[in-house]
Structure 1
């Protein structure tokens, strides 16, 4: 059976033009929740070991075992350094998320603030600047290996605030 050339072209034409061209600079991160470099706030000299993949918190067992002294030490540092503010209605949660590289160094800190009903809120800077400053000052983050490879990973801390006072640190 002989297929005529015009019919062959009609059959091949959709296949040729159905291929998608890869977009080099996507407007979306490779993974949901990735923290992209921001030259206005992030350290340009901060190096990641494996740029293409940063492990999420759920890729390992315990979030606080990644810190020397674990959660007890984190609590101790914050409750010693944070100065309670006693500001009425400054109640809710502040989450600070960041990256720990394979050397245990941190950067790319991002903050999300919400009220006690999980709605967006802007806390007084007397609160947030302290929480961010203390978080950036934590120097006990451990490097991590997964399958014998050095990895970078995301870490987060959530602070429960009531009337400007630090009540609890999670996780």
Structure 2
């Protein structure tokens, strides 16, 4: 049986960095009620629960891209903008526990990709106004995911501090 210690240093570094930043990110929900997780404590439209939902959905879509290429993304014209907006909100019936469980399942799939995928396989990015016409390798997708989690961990810190003064670091 292969363990993480048997992985290449690059793969171990990806796993370590992703899990470190995910822990900082998801810790911002620790001890919050479902109502607090859905609150918007700043002038931003962002809420903590919605931010974790969004990152989980984004991570899942990029893993699908790494495995299947641009077909993993809907065409720009077919994008469901309401569903995208809802990914940033805690909807009725959603809970902190459910949001965290969903994100943990996505993270586990991403970690499996890190452990097993050929990091050099590349796909054309889907057509969208925000993408240049280029190819991304699985390695580049993982770097993008690390940036995505890290960026939103910073947003989450501000939101949590606005709710009750708690900080994830410092």
Q: TM-score range by the shorter chain?
A: under 0.3
Query: TM-score, normalised to structure 2's length?
Result: 0.22
Higher strand share: 1
Calculate the TM-score normalised by the size of structure 1. Answer: 0.22
More helix per residue: 2
Q: Of the two structures, which has the highest relative contact order with CA contacts closer than 8 Å and spacing of 6 or more?
A: 2
